[in-house]
Amino acid sequence: MDRLEAMTVFVAVVDKGSLVAAARALGRSPATVTRAIALLEQRSGERLLHRSARRMRLTDSGERHVAVYRAVLAELADMDEADGRGASGAAGLDGSFAITAPELFGRLKVLPVVEDFLAEHPGARARVLLLNRLVNLVEEGVDIAVRLAPLPDSSAVAIQLGEVRSLICAAPAYLARHGAPLTPAELRQHACLGEDEAREREFWRFIDRTAARPRALSVSVQPRIALNAAACAIDSAMRGHGICRARSYQVIEHLAAGRLVHVLSAFEPEPVPVNLLFHRVPRRNRLLRGFIDYATPRLRAQLGAIAAAMA
């Protein structure tokens, strides 16, 4: 078995989550898959996988190596496609990529960009994961992530697209009945709409700018209705059932139409950065490069328009 074949096997193991599943997908024996991993570990001089009877996970070295393996395989596939098109080439981009984003931001902002990109490149395919959890790009075989959060130190490349604000909102009808909270502490006397049905209490974070020095503070609220989706909390707030937390992109249209009112603006926390995240080596792939170059200005424009409207 040559090194390139072993790299293909290793990537399949990571994507499928087990040696047996990878062997089945590739039509190989489990022993062949085991030999491929052993070959790569021998050449690298490092362990790439932690394996036990119950689970398998990448080592730190394995994460670095699988990112390189994916890039090499993608680059070779890209060259084969270019050769197949001939010297004149073709304008379209072929192949597939995977992108992840938070569920609501992905549905409202990212998915339309993906759809428009695919419409321009009929040979391209996309796998879109809209998940409200942190996705490990390497272990889950994802090429690009949209992150709405400060980024930890990472070997990945980050392109900042803009910012979103965290707002406290309620319907005019609710405020007419109960009044608007003047401080975060007053939320304890209001019907709050939670976003985590598994928790009896939630901590809502603010910045107190009324003091001489702004300081962070948090308020423990017991939601009147505990939901598992931000969109549902916003819908309930618009029907007048309580006060919700929301990101600016989620409610900008409702605020403009008067369906919701922004309260506690003096205590609004710092904006949250929005970044496009991907590994440096796969950037060489034509399809990924094409999508990143296509998506970046469009997502920036959308976030810029929201920021301007909120201002």
Per-block mean pLDDT, blocks of 10 residues, the chain (311 long): 85 84 85 88 88 75 83 70 49 84 94 96 94 82 90 77 96 97 95 85 90 88 90 95 96 96 94 89 71 94 92 80
> How many residues are given for the chain?
311
Residue 85 in tokens: 């098109």
How confident is the model at residue 278, as a pLDDT?
87
Beta-bridged to residue 129, according to DSSP, are 100
* Domain edges within the chain: 1-90, 96-159+273-310, 166-270
Q: Would the CA dihedral through 186, 189, 191, 197 be positive or negative?
A: positive
How confident is the model at residue 123, as a pLDDT?
92
CATH 3.40.190.10 fits 166-270, yes or no: yes
Residue 116: strand, helix, or coil: helix
Q: What is the pTM of this model?
A: 0.70
Contacts of 162 (CB under 8 A, 6+ apart): 273, 274, 299, 300, 303, 304, 306, 307
How confident is the model at residue 87, as a pLDDT?
41
96-159+273-310: CATH topology: D-Maltodextrin-Binding Protein; domain 2 (3.40.190)
Cβ neighbours of 212 (radius 10 Å): 5
How confident is the model at residue 53, as a pLDDT?
58
DSSP annotation string for 88-135: T--SS--EEEEEEE-HHHIIIIIHHHHHHHHHH-TTEEEEEEE-SS--
Amino acid letter, residue 105: F
Kindly report the CATH class assigned to 1-90.
Answer: mainly alpha
Residue 127 in tokens: 């796998």
How confident is the model at residue 91, as a pLDDT?
53
How confident is the model at residue 88, as a pLDDT?
39
Residue 272 in tokens: 């949250």
Measured CA distances, 151 to 141, 159, 165, 235, 267 (Å): 20, 11, 16, 30, 24
* 220 and 202 Cβ atoms separated by less than 8 Å: yes
How confident is the model at residue 136, as a pLDDT?
81
- Common-topology check for domains 96-159+273-310 and 166-270: yes
